[in-house]
Every structure is written in structure tokens, then in C-alpha cells.
Amino acid sequence: MSRIRIVEILRRETSPGCLTVRGWVRTKRDAKAFSFLELNDGSCLGNLQVVADATLPGYEEAVVPARTGASIEVEGEVVASQGQGQRWELRASRVTLVGTAPEDYPLQKKGHTMEFMRSIAHLRPRSNLFGAVFRIRSRMAYAIHQFFQERGFVYVHTPIITASDCEGAGEMFRVVTMEGEKIRSGTEEFFGKPTYLTVSGQLEGETFACALSNIYTFGPTFRAENSHTSRHAAEFWMIEPEIAFCDLEGDMALAEGMVKYLVNDALLNCAEDLDFCNRHVDKGLIERLEFVRDRVFERVSYTDAVNLLLASGQNFEYPVEYGQPLQSEHERFLTEHHFRCPTTVYNYPKEIKPFYMRRNDDGKTVAAMDLLVPGIGEIVGGSQREERLEVLLANLREQGLEASAYDWYVDLRRYGTVPHAGFGLGFERLLMFITGVANIRDVIPFPRTPGSAEF
Ligand code: 4AD
Ligand code: MG
């Protein structure tokens, strides 16, 4: 008898016959002569209805105590269902109780808040919503590799422990060594210098792009920013492509193309889970995703965006001013009200951007770009990199950074320098956009945010 995932049964046109399934009981209903168990194994949203006859051998020991949350193994025959709502059901010939669950199993049928679900993060993937979100997360990770591999990009594993602050914002976690319970003094001796958890693999990624031409990274990144927003996590995953012989235009085109590719992939391969999100999380979700798939994105320079915001007559909490970063309310106004479309803002004032961005000929701006989407704001941040040695050294000086700390990075400009560009796509921000889930904590299996590192 073959073992099979429930998704394969539910999608069958003809009955697969006799087989064994394993999973967790979502609900059980007892009639006089039968029990109906809704069985889910996480392979898809749908449950397989198991019909267990009260005359089954072992019914008392296995079926009666198989409450919501219990794990069971069922052998039986897949037959056309007489009930409404499903094509197939499993007529059990044997039920084995693998693990019991108590009456107060925390995940009851309906009506749990997202906050409560976070407090049971070890059980929440068993719910419809979180099952759907994490299947989509897995598919999107796969599609990201597929997108780059199809285009000949090389996947580079950049280090998690690093000695340089890529973004220059100082929002880093320090790496220390322990002596029992205590931090060992002189701890930097382990590496010979202070080290941190990486905020970005970009600088290391650039070295590989300047050898292998097209590369990408995809891994965890860490930011010690004390931001209590629905879009910031202390640990998140980032995808960072870096392309040699590429300018800002090519960089923006890649970012836009990638977002469209991923949206299209989700629509094709996560239809059932997206439909669930559309019904239970965000009613306009699928319509918005189809729009994003089909529509050419907008682009606007930072200067034009500022003028447009100033002319909007909107009463923003943070005043709009040339030379200041765009706040999330400004970004959302642009994508949700003005353009009503994903929008790339480019050429930002040099003062508000890191040292590595390429200085534009106007002397005031750098070749930076942020891709903004409705509902979230920034999901991509990127730039063309400063490939001119003298300009890069001047940038480091201007920003008060020690050029010697970036020796190896500066060397790339000494040995066969090339124009190059790249960006970082926040994986969780992308998932929020694709699922409609409003809080970043709810697209991360075990979220880490200020004050919270449970599980
Ligand atoms: O704009 P950021 O800071 O850019 C960089 O790190 C560059 N080194 C990327 C590059 O050019 N290779 O971050 C990139 C993206 C943001 O657009 C956002 O989507 C995400 O990373 N991000 C966060 N996501 C969740 N929580 C946080 N605290 C995030 N900070 C940035
Ligand atoms: Mg950014």
C-alpha cells in the first residue's frame, strides 16, 4: 500500500484506490455509526475527509480519542464522497492513533487573533492561514533561485559574521564569545577585531560580481534598529543580486522584472493558497497581483517625487523636504494615491545614502533607487556602485569612514574596475505584498523583533 500526500489525492481525477495517509486531525464529527475526521498533512489547504465506521477494529482505542490536534495514520480506500464539499473521501479500514492531543489543544477551530497565533508559533503552521503563508514562502524562495539561475546568475554565500558595516547606519548586533554565562573580556581577539552580524552581503557580493559578472545572495540579515513597525524585523532574509557592467537603468529593470516574475509565479503555482489569502486576509489581493503582473511600473526621480508630494496638498505627519528621506507615509502616497502602481524612485540626494552609491554628474545626487509598492512602501533598495577610485575615497572621507577598514573593497576599484549595480529585495516585505498579510511577524516562521525572540 503506497503512502501519499493529501494534496495528491485531492487533485486526482480518478480514485487512487487503497492507500495510507498520515496527518493531524483538524476536526472530528461523530454520527451514530461513523466518525468523520478532517485530516490535514500540510501538503495543501484542503483536508481529506476520513470516514471511520464504528465497527472498525480498534475504533475505541484509535478513533474515539483522536481529537483535534491528534496525529493519526489511516489505511483505506479513496472513494467518491457522498457528502457535499469534496470529491473524494477515505473509507478507513484501519486507523492508528500516533499521538494524542488534550481537550485544551490551543489551536481550536476559528477566531484566533494574529497576536494569539504568534504566542503559539510552534503550532501556528498547522492553521489554514499560516500553512498557506509558509507554503507560499517556500515556493517564492524556490522561484527566486529559479529566476536567477535561468538568467545565469551565480549564487554566492556571503558571510553572516562580518567586520564591516555595509549600510554605515551602525544598526548592528555585536558578535562576542562567552566564558560560561559571561561575555569574555577582550572578546574581539577571537577574530582580531570587532565583528557583527551582517546587515547586508552587498560589499562581499560586489567582489564576486567583479569576477563572475552576475551573482546573487539569498540569506539572513540582521538589523538592531529599534523600529516597532509592522515592516521591520531584527532578523530577515534578503536577496541581493549584483551585476557587473551594469548601470542604474539595468538595475531598475532587473528589480521590476524580478517582482513581476515572482508575482506571476505565485499566481501560477500558489493559486489555492492565494485564493485563501484573498478571501480571509485581503479582499483585493488577487486583483492587485494580476495588475502588478500586467502593468508597466512607474518611475520617478526623487526630486520630482518631492515636488509632487509638496504639491499634493496632503497633510503628512512628517513634512516633505528636499534632502530628507521619504517616510513610509510619503512612499505610500506615491504608490497608493498618486501613481496607483508600484513605483521606482531614483537619484536620491547623496547626503541621505551610503558611501558606496555612485555620484551623479549633478554633484548632488547618487544613482540610488527604491522600489515602492502599495500597502508597504519600500521592498527593494539598490544603486549603481561608485566604481571610480578617487570618488569612492572622497565619499568615505566625507562620511567620516576609515578607508583602511574598506581596503579590500576599495581594491576592486584599483584592479580592473567596472561599472556595476545591484539591489536588496526584502524577502519578508515581498511575502507581505504577495499574501496581503499586514504584519511582517506573520510571514516569518519565528520572528525576531525588539523585545521578542521566543521559540
Ligand atoms: O535598503 P536596504 O537597507 O539596502 C541594503 O541593504 C543594500 N545593501 C542592498 C543592496 O543594494 N544590495 O535594504 C534592502 C531591503 C529593503 O528595501 C527592505 O525590503 C528590506 O531590505 N529591509 C528590511 N526588511 C525587514 N526588516 C528590516 N528591518 C529591513 N530593513 C531592510
Ligand atoms: Mg533602503
Dist. CA 371 → ligand 1 center (Å): 11
What average pLDDT does range 200-204 have in this prediction?
97
Q: Closest ligand 1 atom to the C-alpha of 238?
A: 21
Average pLDDT for the chain: 95
pLDDT band at 84 (very low <50, low <70, confident <90, very high): confident
Of 222, 236, 344, 409, the one to substitute when testing ligand 1's pocket (max ligand atoms within 8 A of C-beta) is 236
What average pLDDT does range 300-311 have in this prediction?
97
Answer yes or no: is pLDDT of 405 > 70.
yes
Q: Closest ligand 1 atom to the C-alpha of 205?
A: 12
The pLDDT score that the predictor gives to residue 2 is 63
Residues with CB under 6 A from ligand 1: 166-167, 200, 202, 223, 225, 232-233, 236, 238, 240, 378-383, 422-424, 426, 428-429, 440
Dist. CA 4 → ligand 1 center (Å): 40
Dist. CA 239 → ligand 1 center (Å): 9
For 205-258, how does the pLDDT look when each residue is reduced to its tens digit (9 = 90+)?
A: 999 999 999 999 999 999 999 888 999 999 999 999 999 999 999 999 999 999
* For ligand 1, atom 28: residue with the closest CA: 232
Answer yes or no: is pLDDT of 109 > 80.
no
The pLDDT score that the predictor gives to residue 1 is 54
What average pLDDT does range 138-160 have in this prediction?
98
Q: Closest ligand 1 atom to the C-alpha of 378?
A: 17
Contact 52, 95 (CB under 8 A): yes
* Ligand closest in space to the Cα of 382: 1
Answer yes or no: is pLDDT of 177 > 60.
yes
Of the candidates 86, 32, 27, 34, the one whose C-alpha atom is nearest the C-alpha of residue 59 is 34
Q: What is the pTM of this model?
A: 0.97
What average pLDDT does range 388-407 have in this prediction?
93
**Nearby residues of 394 by Cβ (< 8 Å), 6 or more positions away:** none
Q: Which domains does the chain have, with CATH numbers?
A: 2-99 (2.40.50.140), 124-442 (3.30.930.10)
Dist. CA 380 → ligand 2 center (Å): 7
Dist. CA 106 → ligand 2 center (Å): 39
Contact 6, 23 (CB under 8 A): yes
